[in-house]
Amino acid sequence: MISDLNQDSHGPDAVTPPLAAAGPSTECNAIVARIVERHGRRASRLVPILQDVQAEYRYLPADVLSYVARALNVAPARVFGVATFYAHFAIKPKGRHLVRLCDGTACHVKDSVPILDAIRKKLGVDAKNPTSRDLLFTVETVACLGACGLAPVVVVDDQVYGGMTPDKGVALIDAIVAKEAAA
């Protein structure tokens, strides 16, 4: 798949349809059109294009993937294949705040599971549906965050919190909700 990505579908004789033909009829598509143009509408730039799209929307909506395929003049299956192949791409909506709970060995033996349970309960999410209905939070577990000395560890966005407890975890969520409400 990687080698395939390095080949551009726009050869010298390729006919590139205007972006309007790809259907940038919404503000959403206009944003994606700008991203695609920034990368020269090159199929070989598919991964960085998807990275930029995800940075904009926090995930890769299906209609946007279809639009990218049309704009790059590549098969939709190829775009969807890349979006689902790489773990850092999300094809489901993610919350504004990413809560990652470590369940590596050091954190697990220091009772990370009750923290996870408390935060999930607070937000009404579970492993299958990790994003809160208000799209404020997505809760994920990770194997090791590389901060075992601080176990058990929770990372919210890029901020690391060590020595966590279920109560501290819930308080963290409350603090973010209060901050969002005040914004």
Query: Which residues sit at the interface with ligand FES, rule CB under 6 A?
Result: 102, 104-107, 144-148, 151, 153
157: left (phi over 0), alpha (psi -120 to 50) or beta: left
Identity of the residue, 72 or 154, whose beta carbon is nearer to ligand FES in the bound complex: 154
Residue least distant from ligand FES (Cβ):
104
* In the complex, minimum distance from the CB of residue 168 to ligand FES, in angstroms, rounded to a whole number: 15
Identity of the residue, 57 or 161, whose beta carbon is nearer to ligand FES in the bound complex: 161
Kindly tell me the burial class for residue 76, based on how many C-beta atoms sit within 10 Å of its own C-beta (0-12, 13-18, 19 or more).
middle
Identity of the residue, 31 or 106, whose beta carbon is nearer to ligand FES in the bound complex: 106
Kindly tell me the burial class for residue 145, based on how many C-beta atoms sit within 10 Å of its own C-beta (0-12, 13-18, 19 or more).
buried
Identity of the residue, 56 or 111, whose beta carbon is nearer to ligand FES in the bound complex: 111
